[in-house]
Structure 1
Amino acid sequence: MDVESYNSERNRYDYLCAVCSILQAMRKTYNQRHITLRSLYFRWRRLKYPALSFGVLLSCLFVGCSTEDDYTADPKRNFRALWEILDKGYCYFDLKLPQDSTWEDLYEKHIQQVRPDMTTDELFRKMSDLIRELRDGHVNIITPFDYGRYWGWKENYPTSLNTYVRGKYLGRDYRIAGGLNYERIRYNNHEKDSVALIVYNSFSYPVSHANINAALSRLADCKGIIFDIRENGGGNVNLSDRLASHFVREKTLTSYMRHKTGPGHNDFSSPRAMYIEPVTRGVRWYRPVVLLVDRGVYSAANDFVLKMKDIPHVLVLGDTTGGGAGMPMSSELPNGWGVRYSASRTLDKNMQDVEFGISPHKRLPFSEEEAASGRDNLIEAGIEHIRQEWERLR
């Protein structure tokens, strides 16, 4: 961890300690609320914008925190608790509810199948049925034995990546800088084109400014970069800011954020503008960039596309991303199972929701036929675009 990251983390932790001291005082009054410093700290680390964090953290105290006195394995009470947590905290009911259905309708639909004598596995499956109604990859049931989820945002679409073929473009001796795999493309007689390939498989893989500087400086003689994040399902959203700051020229409006302010489905804050600024020290890349995307791009990776799309020297190529623009929050059921849900929503700079994905500048389906012959048609198209841009800019 560099000094800047350490200081930021230290300040974040100190501020959290102050919040926790308030919560501890409140806990004397609401002593049945079971909230620990450790659990709050890890929730805090998931939050992207500190100015929003105080209100969100306080919501942890009043929305869906399980209590020691309230522990129960009763299926109906736990199912009701799940429904209520989402009812008060979930932020996308207006976009996600099935047509001609209300959240109350879905409760009545599923509660009829919840029995007092059902097994934990049966209860888990029924809860998973409920959350899948929302079609949101950020809504999950977390148990010691399984993970309730919805993956339709990518499973219902054709594949757009052959990792074996992409590996040929990256080469056997590619470099690794944190979570970034990178190298100049030599495969398929492309060495003369002087184009680099960077592959980032997950925003869960740490990448520091030092990693980014090291990679970009070693690619400085290349005409352009193909940045491949296909099938990147997200991770740490702060890394999207960190990466994009090396490509933007000036402070730029990228999005707006709205967070829940109350239990009502329409209780939201006013939109708050979000900006990205270029790194003050380090490598900035202003040559052509082709960002390869597909339906597997979700959550933090979707946020990265949102930040990169309006940069003039960046072309987003491929398919519409998977979306996942909600900032997740966690809670707990009376039986101890965890619940995760989207609690704040992200809008693009035109105030449009990007929960269902971001369209590329140029749509290009992945060709299984070309992959069978050892060619990735998206990488090939990216190389051609960089070649044309280089000629145009000369």
Structure 2
Amino acid sequence: MKKQITVLATILMGVLISFTSCQEMMVAPEVDNSNENNFRQMWQKFDSHYGLFLVKNIDWNKVYTSHLPMAQAARTDAELFSVLSSTVHVLDDKHINIYTNSPELTDYNSGENGHIPAQEDFDFKVVREKYLTEYHAETDDFGYGKLTSDIGYIHIKSFQGEFSFYEKNMVKAIDALASTKGIVFDIRDHKGGSDQVSKYIAGRFSSSKKLFMTSRKRNGPGHDQFDTAVNWYVEPTGKSQYTKPVILLTTSTTISAGETFTFAMLENANVTHIGTKTAGAFTDVIAHQLPNGWIITVGVGDYRGSDGKSYEGIGITPKISSENKKVDVINGVDKTLELARQRLE
């Protein structure tokens, strides 16, 4: 039992660290731990909190009706896991996960229809060892340097942590790269974080105030009940702005706050987007513990671009498409980065 509690605590901490800004932990009271009740609890949590039923045109009651008999028939954890996975697979959402405390069952991601795969089209180690002439790492997730004497490079893997960290270190990065003629901003392995950080950093490359996103969150039992929509604007931030050419690199791994950052950056006239479509999972999430100890994550909002459209399950398409092949990455070649560098030379 002690081992299970330790594993669960590790999972809980991982969930809280790995997802976007407005997270909260909802721990269920002691209740019926039958497979049927675990299914009901999960279905009800989505019913009351999930923000994208209307966007995705999902009949959640129909899902309940079709899956309840399966849950009632389930006799093992593996059978329950299969039922719950099938239930949320209907939503096709990369922000939805089921974390178990079982090494045999592992976890499930709705958008991937299984375990989240390892990234194969990008390896920062290749960039650092093969392409950068200098690099200053503030943390494993944040650093800046140069690809050539006059082409800068910034790599940020997440927007998690204190806001002041990003304020301080963006000053260092912008000051160090101020004399370059262009910057490659690399978020190809971005795992999310704070939308406020997204907005601030994009503002370091802005020359005017522009709407980049609207967001609203569920606030009632009805699938159409939301709080008042919030307008998000990108505008100049910091003591100075870098308004020379910037190339933003993304992949399908770029998710959540990495995508809201992409929204914001694309409102800046000096930014060109290269790579592959982003993950298509923008909203904030909450984590909820089921009676059996498993953890589910639920997206609670409806986030849209400045054009009023939802890109959930779709992602943001780059202006210029470029995808690295696994074999090239293994051999230390990053053709997407080479393309970005060439466009700035």
Alignment correspondent of 2:278: 321
Alignment correspondent of 1:184: 146
- In our comparison, the structure showing a higher alpha carbon Rg is 1
Rounded Cα–Cα distance in structure 2 between residues aligned with 1:291 and 1:122:
43
Distance 1:219 1:161, change over 3 A: same
Alignment correspondent of 1:51: none
**Residue 336 of structure 1, CA deviation:** 4.3
- The residue type paired with residue 126 of structure 1 is V
Distance 1:346 1:152, change over 3 A: same
- What RMSD in Å do the two structures reach over aligned CA positions? 3.3
- The residue type paired with residue 181 of structure 1 is G
Alignment correspondent of 1:345: 302
Identity within the alignment, % = 25
Contact 1:74 1:116 in 2 (8 A): no
Distance 1:78 1:375, change over 3 A: closer
Rounded Cα–Cα distance in structure 2 between residues aligned with 1:85 and 1:155:
23
Rounded Cα–Cα distance in structure 2 between residues aligned with 1:141 and 1:369:
32
Q: Does 1:386 align with 2:344?
A: yes
Rounded Cα–Cα distance in structure 2 between residues aligned with 1:377 and 1:89:
42
- Deviation string 1:97-135 (CA, Å, 9 cap, x unpaired) is 6xxx73223223322222477233432332122122211
- The residue type paired with residue 196 of structure 1 is G
Which structure would you say has the larger RCO, counting Cα contacts within 8 Å and 6 or more residues apart?
2
Distance 1:104 1:286, change over 3 A: same
Rounded Cα–Cα distance in structure 2 between residues aligned with 1:149 and 1:172:
38
* Equivalenced residues, count: 322
- The residue type paired with residue 184 of structure 1 is K
- The residue type paired with residue 282 of structure 1 is K
Q: Does 1:127 align with 2:88?
A: no
Contact 1:170 1:182 in 2 (8 A): no
**Residue 159 of structure 1, CA deviation:** 4.7
Alignment correspondent of 1:150: 110
Distance 1:208 1:165, change over 3 A: closer
Partner residue of 2:156 out of 187, 200, 217: 200
Structure 1 residues 49-128: aligned runs within 5 Å:
66-68=28-30, 71-96=31-56, 102-115=59-72, 118-128=75-85
Rounded Cα–Cα distance in structure 2 between residues aligned with 1:149 and 1:217:
40
- Deviation string 1:121-164 (CA, Å, 9 cap, x unpaired) is 43233212212221112222344334432352997999532445
Q: Does 1:308 align with 2:265?
A: yes
Alignment correspondent of 2:224: 266
| 214-223 vs 152-161, greater mean Cα deviation | 152-161
Partner residue of 2:122 out of 149, 157, 161: 161
- Deviation string 1:247-291 (CA, Å, 9 cap, x unpaired) is 122332111112223212222345332223322x43421111100
Alignment correspondent of 2:6: none
Distance 1:105 1:322, change over 3 A: same
Alignment correspondent of 2:317: 359
Contact 1:79 1:127 in 2 (8 A): yes
Distance 1:223 1:169, change over 3 A: farther
Rounded Cα–Cα distance in structure 1 between residues aligned with 2:327 and 2:109:
32
What's the secondary structure of 2:185's corresponding residue? strand
Contact 1:326 1:342 in 2 (8 A): yes
Unaligned runs of 5+ in 2: 1-12
Task: Judging by fraction of residues, say which structure has more strand.
Answer: 2
Distance 1:208 1:202, change over 3 A: closer
Task: Judging by fraction of residues, say which structure has more helix.
Answer: 1
**Residue 217 of structure 1, CA deviation:** 1.0
- Deviation string 1:210-232 (CA, Å, 9 cap, x unpaired) is 11111221122211110111122
What's the secondary structure of 1:174's corresponding residue? strand
Distance 1:278 1:239, change over 3 A: same
Contact 1:226 1:382 in 2 (8 A): yes
> What TM-score, normalized by structure 1, do the two folds share?
0.72
Alignment correspondent of 1:242: 200
- The residue type paired with residue 75 of structure 2 is M
Structure 1 residues 226-241: aligned runs within 5 Å:
226-241=184-199
Distance 1:338 1:162, change over 3 A: closer
